């Protein structure tokens, strides 16, 4: 027996209404990355694509960014609820806007070690930090490595360097042309950019900040003060869903890149898989991360970083480490067990 048309219509309407009601119960969360859709963005695109955020009753939208400073500012303004940004950029915002009512806070560490490094071509003769004094450096003015270079320089007794600012797209090109002697940048960005321009990895000298006395935290997940005050449960749910996805990404980076490709069809899957693996090995699954625990901070290390950023960035007020970090939303120990043994 066939259902009558009006009954079919009624059933369809009921299903749509139920679906809409279920979606309405999900908390909307606008999330901004620190940069374009590249390999590391798989950490956030995977839980979104696989429905882990939806399972947590969240309606998460993930947008590309154009630098950590911009992400911090947009979360502070309320344009975004949460974001992914460099801890130093967050600290700088706090210290330079002491009276601002809406200062985001870090709620989870993702890059336990900064991915920043100094890179030079071997033909320059640069082999160690001691060879950098008096050299010409280049990087965008907002580059995390450039901003933190005074900390690197102090730790390694480097002096008398000069800087040239440029658009990010020109940084590696200018190094190859010999316009500058060295650059700063995230290793997994600049090294692969150099390769894309015909330079062999074996011909590049990489001096990672963490290997030379700079123990800065890298990128963290930040949340707006409005979210912290009005919907702490959503932050907890987001971090738990993120950790679930991150564990899968770390275990199988190549598979996770398909979600990056889905957001930006022109990316090179092989290249972005390498970029993601480099980020995991250097910044996420680092010795410090395994010691401190994924997502967490060491209070003494955070305090030291706050002091170093205050000095290096010449902030208007001193960075208060207790004001930039809120670990109360972190998932439990079992959920944070995402790093391979």
pLDDT in tens, 214-234: 999 999 999 999 999 999 999
Q: What is the pLDDT of residues 266-310, one digit of tens each?
A: 999 999 999 999 999 999 999 999 999 999 999 999 999 999 999
- Name the CATH superfamily for 116-212: Periplasmic binding protein-like II (3.40.190.10)
The residue among 132, 75, 137, 130 whose CA lies nearest residue 100 is 75
Q: List 108's β-bridge partners, or say none.
A: 221
Token pair 């090109």 is at which residue?
Answer: 173
Q: Alpha carbon of 272 to those of 259, 279, 292: distances in Å?
A: 11, 10, 28
pTM of the shown model? 0.91
CB atoms within 10 A of CB 5: 8
Residue 106: helix, strand or coil by DSSP? strand
Q: Where are the domains of the chain?
A: 26-113+217-329, 116-212
Please determine whether the domains at 26-113+217-329 and 116-212 fall in the same fold group of CATH: yes
Confidence of residue 341 (pLDDT cuts 50, 70, 90): confident
How far apart CA 127 and CA 82 sit, in angstroms, is: 40
The CATH number of 26-113+217-329 is: 3.40.190.10
- Residue 326's CB is within 10 A of a number of other CB atoms, namely 17
Region 65-94: what's the mean pLDDT?
Answer: 97
The residue among 81, 90, 78 whose CA lies nearest residue 114 is: 90
Say whether 311 sits in a helix, a strand or coil.
helix
Residue 25: band (very low, low, confident or very high) from pLDDT cuts 50, 70, 90: confident
Which residue matches tokens 């067990």? Answer: 337
Residue 152 three-state SS: helix
Measured CA to CA, the distance from residue 87 to residue 144 in angstroms comes to 10
| pLDDT score of 9 | 56
Between the alpha carbon of residue 295 and those of residues 69, 107, 167, 242, the distances in Å are 21, 8, 32, 11
């Amino acid at each position: 027996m066939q259902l009558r048309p009006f009954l079919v219509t009624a059933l369809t309407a009921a299903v749509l209404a139920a679906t809409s009601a279920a979606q309405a119960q999900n908390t909307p969360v606008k999330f901004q990355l620190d940069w374009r859709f590249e390999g590391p963005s798989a950490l956030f695109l995977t839980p979104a694509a696989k429905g882990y955020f939806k399972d947590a009753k969240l309606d998460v939208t993930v947008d590309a960014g154009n630098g950590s400073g911009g992400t911090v500012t947009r979360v502070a303004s309320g344009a975004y609820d949460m974001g992914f940004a460099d801890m130093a950029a967050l600290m700088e915002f706090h210290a330079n806007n002491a009276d601002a009512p809406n200062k985001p806070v870090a709620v989870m560490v993702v890059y336990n070690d900064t991915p920043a490094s100094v890179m030079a071509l071997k033909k320059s003769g640069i082999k160690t930090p001691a060879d950098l004094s008096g050299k010409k450096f280049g990087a965008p003015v907002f580059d995390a490595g450039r901003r933190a270079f005074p900390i690197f320089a102090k730790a390694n007794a480097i002096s008398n360097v000069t800087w040239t600012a440029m658009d990010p797209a020109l940084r590696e090109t200018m190094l190859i042309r010999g316009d500058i002697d060295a650059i700063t940048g995230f290793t997994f960005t600049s090294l692969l950019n150099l390769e894309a321009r015909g330079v062999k990895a074996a011909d590049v000298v990489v001096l990672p900040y963490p290997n030379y006395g700079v123990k800065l935290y890298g990128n963290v997940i930040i949340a707006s003060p409005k979210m912290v005050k009005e919907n702490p449960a959503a932050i907890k749910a987001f971090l738990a869903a993120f950790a679930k996805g991150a564990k899968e990404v770390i275990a199988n980076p190549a598979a996770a890149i398909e979600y990056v490709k889905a957001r930006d069809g022109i990316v090179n899957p092989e290249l972005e898989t390498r970029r993601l693996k480099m980020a995991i090995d250097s910044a996420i699954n680092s010795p410090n991360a395994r010691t401190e625990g994924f997502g967490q901070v060491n209070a003494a290390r955070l305090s030291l970083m706050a002091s170093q950023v205050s000095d290096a960035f010449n902030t208007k007020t001193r960075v208060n480490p207790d004001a930039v970090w809120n670990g109360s939303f972190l998932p439990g120990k079992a959920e944070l067990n995402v790093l391979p043994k």
